[in-house]
Amino acid sequence: MSDAVSYQLKDGVGVITVNNPPVNALGQAVRAGLKECLDKGLADAGAQALVVMGAGRTFPAGADIREFGKPPQDPNLGDVIDAYENSDKLVVAAIHGTALGGGLELALGCDYRVAVKSGAVGLPEVKLGLLPGAGGTQRLPRLIGPQGALEVITSGNPVKAPKAKEMGIIDAVIGDDLESEAIAYANKLVADGAPRRRICDMEAKAESATVFEDFEKGLQKKARGFLAPFHCVKAVNAAVELPFRDGLKRERELFQELMESSQSRAQRHVFFAEREVAKVPGVDKDTPKRDIKSVGIVGAGTMGGGIAMNFVNVGIPVVIKEVKQDALDKGIAIIRKNYENTAKKGRISMDDVEKRMSLVTPTLDYDDFKDVDLVIEAVFESMEVKKDVFGTLDRVCKPGAMLATNTSTLDVNKIAEFTSRPQDVMGMHFFSPANVMKLLENVRGEKTADEVVATVMDISKRIGKVGVCVGVCDGFVGNRMLHKRQAEAVDLVTEGASPQQVDKVIYDLGFPMGPFAMSDLAGLDVGYRIREERRKAGDPDAQEMNWLDKLAADGRYGQKTMAGVYRYEEGDRTPKPDPEADKVIEAYRKEKEVTTREVSDQEILERCMYVMVNEGAKILEEGIAARALDIDIIWIYGYGFPVYRGGTMFWADEVGLKEIHGRVQQFHKDLGGDQWKPAALLERLANEGKGFHDQ
Here the CATH number for the domain that contains residue 455 is 3.40.50.720
Q: Do residue 502 and residue 464 come from a single domain? A: no
E strand spans, 336-452: 360-363, 374-377, 402-405, 425-430, 439-444
- 633 occurs within a structural domain: no
678 pLDDT higher than 70: yes
Confidence at residue 2, expressed as pLDDT on a 0 to 100 scale = 60
> Of 558, 568, 560, 571, nearest to 518 (Cα)?
558
Mean local confidence (pLDDT), 561-575: 93
Who has greater pLDDT, 532 or 44?
A: 44
The predicted pLDDT at position 690 comes to 97
Would you call 404 helix, strand, or coil by DSSP? strand
- What phi, psi does 468 have (nearest 5°)? -125, 130
Residue 518's domain is classified under what CATH number? 1.10.1040.50
| 320 close to 308: Cβ distance less than 8 angstroms | yes
Q: Is 618 exposed, middle or buried (0-12, 13-18, 19+ CB in 10 A)?
A: buried
> Residue 526 — very low, low, confident or very high, per pLDDT cuts 50/70/90?
confident
Question: Could you report the per-residue pLDDT of 126-163, keeping only the tens digit for each?
Answer: 999 999 999 999 999 999 999 999 999 999 999 999 99
pLDDT surpassing 70 at residue 459: yes
pLDDT at 387: 95
Q: Is 612 part of a structural domain of the chain?
A: no
Q: Domain for residue 429, yes or no?
A: yes
User: What are the distances in angstroms from CA 6 to CA 47, 93, 176, 421, 500?
Assistant: 15, 15, 21, 56, 63
Q: Which residues are catalytic?
A: 105, 125
Considering the chain, what percentage of its residues have pLDDT values greater than 90? Answer: 92
Among residues 545, 573, 596, the one where a domain terminates is 596
Is 61 within the bounds of a domain? yes
Q: Is the overall model pTM greater than 0.75, yes or no?
A: yes
Do 224 and 133 share a structural domain?
Answer: yes
Among 260, 283, 307, the domain boundary falls at 260
Q: What is the mean pLDDT of residues 365-386?
A: 94
Q: What are phi and psi of 366, to 5 degrees?
A: -60, -30
CB atoms within 10 A of CB 8: 15
Q: Is 346 a residue whose pLDDT tops 80?
A: yes
What is the rounded average pLDDT of the residues 205-217? 94
* Residue 71 banded pLDDT, cuts 50, 70, 90: confident
Residue 91 lies in a domain: yes
* Arithmetic mean of pLDDT, 439-454: 97
Helix axes 657-671, 648-655, angle to 10 degrees: 100
Whole-angstrom Cα distance, residue 238 to residue 483?
47
132, 134, 137, 142: CA torsion to nearest 10: -150
Asked if residue 31 has pLDDT above 60, the reply is yes
Residue 221 falls inside a structural domain:
yes
CATH classification at residue 109 = 3.90.226.10
Same domain as 447, residue 306: yes
Same domain, 106 and 210: yes
44 falls within a domain: yes
Is residue 34 located within the same domain as residue 76? Answer: yes
Q: Are 506 and 519 in contact (CB under 8 A)?
A: no
**Taking 70 as the threshold, does the pLDDT of residue 652 lie above it?**
yes
Chosen domain end from 202, 236, 260: 260
Q: Which residue has the higher pLDDT, 496 or 572?
A: 496
3-class DSSP state for residue 387? helix
Answer whether residue 349 shows pLDDT above 60: yes
Query: φ and ψ at 185, to 5 degrees?
Result: -65, -45
Residue 638 maps to a domain = no
For 389, the domain range is: 295-470
The dihedral built from the CA positions of residue 301, 307, 312 and 318, taken in this order, carries a sign that is negative
Of residues 227 and 64, the one with the higher pLDDT is 227
Phi-psi region of 660 (alpha: psi -120 to 50; beta: other; left: phi over 0): alpha
Judge if 252 and 370 occupy the same domain: no
Task: Band the pLDDT of 1: cuts 50, 70, 90.
Answer: very low
Per-residue model confidence as pLDDT tens digits over 301-332: 989 999 999 999 999 999 999 999 999 999 99
pLDDT at 540: 81
Q: What span, in angstroms and rounded, lies between the C-alpha atoms of 175 and 116?
A: 6
Domain shared by 242 and 309, yes or no: no
Give the total number of structural domains in the chain: 3
Question: So what's the pLDDT on residue 7?
Answer: 97
The mean of the pLDDT values for the chain is: 95
With CA atoms as reference, report the closest residue to 104 among 154, 58, 145, 69. 58
On whether both 36 and 152 belong to a single domain, the answer is: yes
Q: Average pLDDT of 411-417?
A: 96
Query: Do 517 and 399 share a structural domain?
Result: no
Q: Does 176 lie in the same domain as 57?
A: yes
Judge if 503 and 436 occupy the same domain: no
298, with CB counted inside 10 A (0-12, 13-18, 19+), is buried
User: Does the pLDDT of residue 395 top 50, yes or no?
Assistant: yes
pLDDT of residue 469: 97
513 and 466 co-located in one domain: no
> Using one digit for the tens of pLDDT, what is the confidence trace for 81-108?
999 999 999 999 999 999 999 999 999 9
